[in-house]
Amino acid sequence: MTWEISDFRVRTTTPSQESDVLYANGRMQVAVCISIKAINKDTGTRYKLSQAELDSSQLVDYYNSSKTLQGDWSYSSQENEFTHTLAVGMSVSDSAPKDTPTYGSFEEGPQEKCYWVSTTKADNKHIGACITQPDGTVISTSDPDYKSQVTLTGKTPIYYTTDNTTQVSKETDSGQYKANLVRGSRSTPADGHWKQYNYYVSTNVHQLLKANIYGYDESGNTNPHHDSRMSHSFAYAPNDNYLNLCFIWDYGPPSSTTAGLHYEGTTTVAGQNYKYKADACANIGVNQQERHLCLTHLRFNAGVNTWGDKWHVGCWFELYDIFGNTGTMSVKWDDKAIVFRDGKP
């Protein structure tokens, strides 16, 4: 059966159905829907396009319908995780394309194919659509019978740095850990104290959606101490009688974990040499603040200077807000606190 187009339009999912705005970060998407009516060429009755026929429609440059959207402006059938509307007072569900148009019957309304458009260019783009009929004729929304287009505006993206993010440190918990001084067969308790400081990072312009973390010890077995409780660590920093451990956590819901290590070393007390054995660990809570990336500084006070050599790795992370704007920062220990710097290490 052969068919031909009887009505052909494009629309956005904003109230105007004619325009939309998105960040030109290559990740934010807005919907552009192609509305199509087709008829049986022989009988003139409505023809229902198959899904494959609907999928053959394309988004094009309105003023050059032979040029499909690609490069700076592109589109996909796949919806991503980022928010799709900048419209004030409109929820994501309000702006999302509907699978089924709201018409009384098939005979009344068009069929629709919705695509997700993104851009890396801060500019205006006039977009139309085209489809090829079975007889080989290419129909475009720029044809005189239709003259239908939408205008999308790419907005300069936000890049997050230490200036437009917030980094807050909070003393979160404290407790004791078990340790012993051993000389020969004699073992003397030498329990110590620990404190936990959680650092929370958030984006100031729009809400944080996710964070990707890099350059840390994923398993706890790639540092000199080979202890699974050191997983997610990026710094081991003895300072006098204190041991400072730094961790970065996967972005997610509140959780608890055991962080630290078993340590054995030697120390001198009152002129006598001792072996120092410590289970320098703490059961801690992380990710207690929603929409924040969480890092932890654990400080252990032993009363003895025996923690060995310090080490660190080049830890960094990428932040993504709900619209796909991003920023890259690195972290390190500076002997007093975790510090944040722009860019990779």
pTM of the full structure: 0.89
State residue 188's pLDDT score: 86
User: Going from the N-terminus, what domains does the chain have, and what CATH number goes with each?
Assistant: 3-155 (2.60.40), 165-342 (no CATH)
Most confident range, picked from 87-91, 211-215, 270-274, 304-308: 211-215
Find the angle CA(231)-CA(288)-CA(170) to the nearest 5 degrees. Answer: 85
Instruction: Indicate if the pLDDT at residue 105 is higher than 70.
Output: no
State residue 87's pLDDT score: 67
CB of 80 closer than 8 Å to CB of 140:
no
Instruction: Indicate if the pLDDT at residue 120 is higher than 80.
Output: yes
State residue 107's pLDDT score: 61
Give percent above pLDDT 70 in the chain: 93
Residue 72 has φ and ψ, to the nearest 5°, of -60, -35
Instruction: Return the structure tokens found at 62.
Output: 């309105």
State residue 304's pLDDT score: 73
* Per-residue model confidence as pLDDT tens digits over 276-328: 899 999 999 999 999 999 999 999 998 777 888 999 999 999 999 999 999 99
Q: 171: how many CB neighbours lie within 10 A of its CB?
A: 11
Task: Round to whole Å and give the CA distance between 310 and 259.
Answer: 17
CB of 32 closer than 8 Å to CB of 127:
yes
* Per-residue model confidence as pLDDT tens digits over 255-267: 999 999 999 988 8
Task: Round to whole Å and give the CA distance between 85 and 93.
Answer: 10
Region 61-85: mean pLDDT is 96
How far apart are the two ends of the chain, measured CA to CA in Å?
63
pLDDT tier at 185, thresholds 50, 70, 90:
confident
What burial letters (b/e) apply to 35-55, b meaning 16+ CB within 10 Å? bbbbeeeeeeebbebeeebbe
Task: Round to whole Å and give the CA distance between 34 and 316.
Answer: 42
State residue 213's pLDDT score: 99
Residue 94 has φ and ψ, to the nearest 5°, of -65, -30
